[in-house]
Amino acid sequence: MKKVRGVLFTLLLAAVTVRVMWLAIEPLVPYLVSVTAVVLVLGFIYYRMTRW
């Protein structure tokens, strides 16, 4: 019983940790998508300009 309680406590702690991390990261998702798109576009332009 003690081992089961320990596993359940670990799962609960993991779930709370994932939830807190998601709440911290969720507002940044639009910025991350925007930055990724800009970097891809600039990289494509740079690749086309420097290609022989």
Phi, psi (rounded to 5 degrees) for 50: -95, 0
> CB-side exposure of 23: number of CA atoms within 13 Å?
6
Alpha-carbon distance 29 to 12, whole Å? 25
Phi, psi (rounded to 5 degrees) for 20: -65, -40
Band of pLDDT at residue 51, cut at 50, 70 and 90: confident
- Kindly report whether the global pTM for this prediction surpasses the value 0.75: no
Band of pLDDT at residue 52, cut at 50, 70 and 90: low
Alpha-carbon distance 43 to 48, whole Å? 9
Give the model confidence (pLDDT) of 7-33 as tens digits: 999 999 999 999 999 999 999 999 999
Report the SS3 class of residue 9: helix
